[in-house]
Chain A
Amino acid sequence: MAKTAEAVIAKVQPDRRVERRRTSLQLTGVAMMAPALLFLLAFVFAPMGYALYLSLYQSTLYTPQPVFAGFANYARLFSSPDFWQAASNTVWLAAGMMALSLPAALILAVLLNQRIRGRAVFRTAIFGPYVIPLVSSGLIFSLLFATDGGPVNLALQRLGLPPVNWLGQGRTALLSVLILTAWQFTGYYAIIFLAGLQSVPTSLVEACQVDGGGRCQVFRHVTLRALGPSLFFAVVICLIQTFQTFDQVYVMTGGGPDGATTTFAYYIFEKGFQAFNIGESSAASVLLILVLACLSYLQMRVSRRWVVEES
Chain B
Amino acid sequence: MKRDRLWTSGALLALGLVATGCGAPAANGGGQAATAASRAAASSQPVTITFWYGVGTTLSQDIQQMVQEFNRTHPGIKVVATYQGSYSGGGEEQQKLLAAIKAGDPPTLAQIEVHAMPVFAASGQLLDLTQLMQSSSVDKPSNFLPGILVSTQYQGRYYGVPFNRSVPVLYYNKTLFAKAHIASPPSNWTELAADAKKLTSGAGSSKIYGFEPLVDWWPWEYAVESGGGSILSPDLSRATFDQPPALSILETEQSLVKQGYAKVETGPNYWDLMTQDFINGQVAMDIDSIGSAGKVTKGVGDKFQWGTALLPRGKTLAVPPGGGDLVIFKDATPAQQKAAWTFIQWWTAPKQSVKWSTETGYLPVQKADLSDPVYQAYLNKHPQYRTAIEELRYEHPSPASPAYLAALQPVQQALQGIFDEGKPVAATMHEAAQAADQNLG
Co-complex (A, B)? yes
User: Would you give the 0/1 interface string for A245-286, flagging 1 where the beta carbon is closer than 8 Å to chain B?
Assistant: 000000111101111000000000010011111000000000
Is B122 part of the contact surface with A, judged by Cβ < 8 Å?
A: yes
13 intermolecular pairs with C-beta atoms under 8 Å apart: A21-B2, A30-B9, A42-B20, A61-B101, A76-B438, A142-B267, A165-B267, A167-B268, A173-B267, A253-B267, A257-B266, A258-B413, A274-B409
A14 to B413 CA separation, bound complex (whole angstroms): 68
Nearest-neighbor residue (CB-CB) of B13 within chain A: A31
Stretch of A32-40, A118-126, A185-193, A197-205 contacting B (4+ beta carbons < 8 Å): A32-40
> Residues of B contacting A35 with CB < 8 Å?
12, 15-16, 19-20
Known: A166-B267, A169-B421, A257-B266. 12 other contacts (CB 8 A): A24-B5, A30-B13, A34-B17, A38-B19, A62-B119, A63-B122, A79-B438, A147-B266, A167-B267, A258-B413, A258-B414, A258-B420
A122 to B94 CA separation, bound complex (whole angstroms): 45
> Residues of A contacting B413 with CB < 8 Å?
82, 256-259
Is B166 part of the contact surface with A, judged by Cβ < 8 Å?
A: no
| Residues 1-38 (chain A) with a chain B CB within 8 angstroms | 20-21, 24, 27-28, 30-32, 34-35, 38
Nearest-neighbor residue (CB-CB) of B96 within chain A: A273
Decide if B402 touches A169 in the complex (CB within 8 Å): no
User: Would you give the 0/1 interface string for B89-102, flagging 1 where the beta carbon is closer than 8 Å to chain A?
Assistant: 11000110010011
Decide if B9 touches A257 in the complex (CB within 8 Å): no
Question: Which of A30, A165, A276 lies at the interface centre, i.e. has the most chain B CB atoms within 10 A of its CB?
Answer: A276
User: Would you give the 0/1 interface string for B252-272, flagging 1 where the beta carbon is closer than 8 Å to chain A?
Assistant: 000000000000011110100
> Residues of A contacting B412 with CB < 8 Å?
256
> Residues of A contacting B438 with CB < 8 Å?
76, 79-80
Interface residues of A toward B: which range?
A: 35 or more
Decide if A258 touches B13 in the complex (CB within 8 Å): no
Min CB distance, B271 to chain A, in Å? 12
A31 to B439 CA separation, bound complex (whole angstroms): 48
A180 to B5 CA separation, bound complex (whole angstroms): 48
> Residues of A contacting B5 with CB < 8 Å?
24, 28
A253 to B413 CA separation, bound complex (whole angstroms): 12
Is B416 part of the contact surface with A, judged by Cβ < 8 Å?
A: yes
Is A60 part of the contact surface with B, judged by Cβ < 8 Å?
A: yes
- Whether A258 touches B406, Cβ cut-off 8 Å, given contacts A31-B9, A167-B266, is no
Min CB distance, B207 to chain A, in Å? 13
User: Would you give the 0/1 interface string for B390-428, flagging 1 where the beta carbon is closer than 8 Å to chain A?
Assistant: 000000000000110110011011101100110100000
Counting from the closest, the 3 A-B pairs by CB-CB distance are A168-B266, A274-B90, A275-B406
> Residues of A contacting B6 with CB < 8 Å?
24, 27-28
> Residues of A contacting B406 with CB < 8 Å?
275-277
Decide if A31 touches B10 in the complex (CB within 8 Å): yes
From A32, A82, A259, B12 is in contact (CB under 8 Å) with A32
A275 to B407 CA separation, bound complex (whole angstroms): 8
Decide if A28 touches B267 in the complex (CB within 8 Å): no
From A62, A252, A253, A258, B123 is in contact (CB under 8 Å) with A62
Nearest-neighbor residue (CB-CB) of B406 within chain A: A275
Nearest-neighbor residue (CB-CB) of A257 within chain B: B416
- Whether A81 touches B20, Cβ cut-off 8 Å, given contacts A258-B421, A274-B409, is no
A225 to B46 CA separation, bound complex (whole angstroms): 74
Min CB distance, A178 to chain B, in Å? 16
From B119, B268, B416, B421, A61 is in contact (CB under 8 Å) with B119
Is A213 part of the contact surface with B, judged by Cβ < 8 Å?
A: no
> Residues of A contacting B119 with CB < 8 Å?
61-62, 276
Is A96 part of the contact surface with B, judged by Cβ < 8 Å?
A: no
Is A170 part of the contact surface with B, judged by Cβ < 8 Å?
A: yes
Is A64 part of the contact surface with B, judged by Cβ < 8 Å?
A: yes
Decide if B16 touches A31 in the complex (CB within 8 Å): yes
Min CB distance, A100 to chain B, in Å? 23
A95 to B270 CA separation, bound complex (whole angstroms): 30
A148 to B102 CA separation, bound complex (whole angstroms): 43
Decide if B268 touches A142 in the complex (CB within 8 Å): yes
Decide if B267 touches A147 in the complex (CB within 8 Å): yes
Nearest-neighbor residue (CB-CB) of B204 within chain A: A162
> Residues of B contacting A64 with CB < 8 Å?
123-124
Is B65 part of the contact surface with A, judged by Cβ < 8 Å?
A: no
Is B435 part of the contact surface with A, judged by Cβ < 8 Å?
A: yes
Is B21 part of the contact surface with A, judged by Cβ < 8 Å?
A: yes
> Residues of A contacting B409 with CB < 8 Å?
270, 274-275
> Residues of A contacting B405 with CB < 8 Å?
274-276
Is B105 part of the contact surface with A, judged by Cβ < 8 Å?
A: no
Decide if B98 touches A168 in the complex (CB within 8 Å): no
From A31, A62, A169, A275, B420 is in contact (CB under 8 Å) with A169
> Residues of B contacting A251 with CB < 8 Å?
268
